[in-house]
């Protein structure tokens, strides 16, 4: 069975690009756009990897990440966080919250694919 990626992102162009890249690689991609219900969706779907935007409607990616790290079932889930800002402060906040990897937008397709392969393989 293919690996399952949950992408929590609210920008349609980013959703389309990442979904295309990862589906072409043979990964199963599911998307979600609302920060408020993100952790409930995560618990329902139990993905192998979470790709999480920092700025979401309803709740920030940092808050979502902190909450999932507090739960035993998701404490070790690989999380790739995306941000349009990419400042040092953003990276530090993500690291304190327990992120596995951090990527700034815009990103290259190759960069995204390499990072996802690395994170999915580390969970195997």
Q: CATH number, domain at 41?
A: 3.40.50.2300
For helices 61-70 and 88-97, angle between their N-to-C axes, nearest 10 degrees: 20
pLDDT of amino acid 124: 59
Tally of structural domains, the chain: 1
CA dihedral sign of residues 10, 45, 121, 62: positive
Residue 1 pLDDT > 60, yes or no? no
d(CA 49, CA 79): 6
pLDDT average, residue stretch 78-103:
90
Residue 66 pLDDT > 80, yes or no? yes
Domain of residue 23, residue span: 4-123
Residue 123 pLDDT > 70, yes or no? no
pTM, 2 dp: 0.95
pLDDT of amino acid 63: 96
């Amino acid at each position: 069975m293919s690996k399952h990626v949950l992408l929590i992102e609210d920008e349609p162009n980013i959703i389309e690009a990442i979904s295309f890249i990862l589906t072409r690689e043979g990964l199963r991609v599911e998307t979600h756009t609302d920060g408020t219900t993100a952790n409930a969706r995560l618990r329902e779907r139990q993905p192998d990897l979470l790709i999480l935007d920092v700025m979401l409607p309803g709740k920030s990616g940092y808050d979502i990440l902190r909450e999932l790290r507090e739960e035993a079932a998701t404490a070790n889930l690989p999380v790739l966080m995306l941000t349009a800002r990419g400042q040092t402060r953003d990276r530090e906040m993500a690291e304190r919250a327990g992120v596995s990897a951090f990527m700034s937008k815009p990103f290259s397709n190759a960069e995204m694919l390499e990072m996802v392969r690395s994170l999915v393989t580390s969970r195997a």
